[in-house]
Amino acid sequence: MRRISVIVSTLSLAGSLAAAQRQSTVEVGTLVGVTILSVSGTSVTHVGIPGDGIQASPTLYASFFLSPSLFIEPQLAFTSISSNGAHLTSFGFAAQVGYLFAPNASGSGYIAANAAIQSLSDGGSVSGEGVGAALGYRFKVKNSLAVRVDGRYRRWFGDFKDMNEIGIGLGLGATF
């Protein structure tokens, strides 16, 4: 009887470890949504698909799960616009650290802190840094697809001094 108990316990532990190893450790995706940029009483609203990232630019993200609850997320944004001989280039990078409240559930709320840098060039160059936070909900549709909705606030400094960024987004990501 004792031997059966040891075998059942061992198989149970092996099953738990196998399930833990199957848990996604990386999510790669993009964001769609609405971003409002405001400074000194003037605001710009941007609706983008994709385009709910760093200062409303199309953004790609990769979430790396360090544990079931804790993730780090680099984000990269690039935009190039040309019209009548004028050219505008925008490049942004953000890093986000987040915490899932219920990582083993199919859906979980999360909170995150982030920092970003943005550079704009149209012959001259301006750049700045931003810091902020996000609050959202992430759920897995299938083992390979995650969807998240979030709201974020970011305050900008440097050449973007006193600019506020408020965003509401929908993220679509593939999980690996």
Residue 15, domain member (yes or no) = no
Domain count of the fold of the chain: 1
Residue 3, domain member (yes or no) = no
Residue 47, domain member (yes or no) = yes
Phi and psi for 15 in degrees, rounded to 5? -65, -40
**Could you tell me the two tokens for 67?**
């544990």
pLDDT digits (tens, 9 = 90+) for 57-76: 778 999 999 999 999 999 99
**H or E element that contains 85:** none
pLDDT class for 23, splitting at 50, 70, 90?
low
Residue 130, domain member (yes or no) = yes
> The domain containing residue 95 runs over which residues?
23-175
Residue 21 pLDDT greater than 80, yes or no: no
Burial 43-56 (b: 16+ CB within 10 A, else e): eeeeebebbbbbbb
| Percentage of the chain modeled with pLDDT above 90 | 66
| Percentage of the chain modeled with pLDDT above 70 | 86
Residue 14, domain member (yes or no) = no
Mean pLDDT of 132-148: 95
Residue 90, domain member (yes or no) = yes
**H or E element that contains 60:** strand 59-65
Residue 93, domain member (yes or no) = yes
Instruction: Write the CATH number for 40.
Output: 2.40.160.20
Mean pLDDT of 32-40: 91
CA atoms of 75 and 63, how far apart (whole Å): 9
pLDDT class for 19, splitting at 50, 70, 90?
very low
Nearest partner of 148 among 118, 107, 119, judged by Cα? 107
DSSP 115-142: EEEEEEESSSEEEEEEEEEEEEEEEEEE
pTM (2 d.p.): 0.81
